[in-house]
Amino acid sequence: MTGQTLGLLLILAGWMVGTAVFKGSEERGGLGYQVLAVLLTYLALGAARVPEVNARSKAESAKMPRRVSSRVFDRHHDSFIHQTFSPDMGDSMSHAEVVVTAIFYTSMAVVRGPVYEARHSPVSALIYSCALYVAWRRNKRAVLSVVGPFQWASVSPAPASEAAGGS
């Protein structure tokens, strides 16, 4: 709502994802689960930035002037790639192409969002690093510690007179 990233919530997201992976692995932990937790945390951090990235890209595209289609002058650009991803061809896209394009751009925003933000803001880089570290650390391998052997406490036998008097 405020347009600012709340760092503690991102770190909390790292802890929550790490805890979910740890509980899902039946509290085993280990390298594989740590990598999974970091990957899921990274994607969660990127997904948290999607609304901001979409708003920013809409504002930037509104500022850009509309161009005349290059297809009118250049017929060798009839490929599907050119039709789908060319900014001046957006009006002629089918509904399925719009959905595929939206999914593609959203996926790219999720994947590159944290890296882009970390490159431009050292504080964000620190916050993202902390969130990823918390998820990594939460899935540390459980160490089985076996000590012993232990002896049962020796119980002294009851005296003969108490044993005979009790019956």
| Residue range(s) defining the domain that contains residue 114 | 7-61+75-145
Each residue's pLDDT tens digit, 51-104: 877 777 777 777 766 554 444 444 444 444 444 455 555 556 677 888 888 888
Distance (Å, rounded) from C-alpha 98 to C-alpha 130?
A: 36
DSSP state of 49: T
pLDDT value of position 91:
56
Other C-beta atoms within 10 Å of 80: how many? 8
Is 85 inside a domain boundary?
yes
Per-residue pLDDT at 72: 46
Q: Per the structure, how many domains does the chain have?
A: 1
pLDDT of 136 > 90? The answer is: yes
CA torsion sign for 82, 114, 116, 129 is: negative
Q: Is 109 exposed, middle or buried (0-12, 13-18, 19+ CB in 10 A)?
A: buried
pLDDT digits (tens, 9 = 90+) for 104-135: 888 888 888 888 888 888 888 888 899 999 99
Tell whether 68 is covered by a domain.
no
Burial tier of 54 (Cβ tally within 10 Å: 0-12, 13-18, 19+): middle
The answer to whether position 2 is within a domain reads no
Q: Please tell me the distance from the alpha carbon of residue 87 to that of residue 95, in angstroms, as a whole number.
A: 16
